[in-house]
Amino acid sequence: PSTHTCMSCHSQIATYSELLAPVRESYATGEPLEWLKVHDLAEHVYFNHSVHVQNGFACETCHGRVDQMPQVWQANNMTMAWCLECHFEPEKFIRPIETRYEFGWEGPEGQERIELGEQLIEEYQVDVIGLSSCSTCHR
């Protein structure tokens, strides 16, 4: 990501944090940051952020409550088993697209949550058959 992406929030959030000094400096000078990857998937795994975000899967589902992290850490282990939980039951994780960037979103619980999820999967035309195909992630 570029520092323009970071500064879209951090120009107003934690603006004086010493941890963000390198981001502010990079933004001001145009010199690229040296990124230390926090979320680094295995090389044999294909992952596309946009297909998730454009279909109602929120950032916090995978990345956790980064809005409450003084420094970003890996909130989930991102193993194949962890990913498959969502791929096999996406109705439990999908949410209205307008809430995908909202931290702490609480939708309905129980059966109402499942019904909302099933409705959104249909509305967003999520390819549930493709979600269970090995070649979706292993290319």
pLDDT at 1: 59
Which two structure tokens, joined as six digits, stand for 10?
A: 């951090």
pLDDT at 13: 79
Mapped onto helix, strand or coil, the DSSP state of residue 11 is coil
Which parts of the chain sit beneath pLDDT 70?
Answer: 1-2
DSSP letter at 63 equals H
The dihedral through the CA atoms of 76, 16, 102, 128 has a sign that is: negative
The dihedral through the CA atoms of 57, 62, 66, 67 has a sign that is: positive
- C-beta of residue 39 within 8 angstroms of C-beta of residue 74: yes
pLDDT at 8: 80
What's the pTM? 0.78
Which two structure tokens, joined as six digits, stand for 35?
A: 């990124």
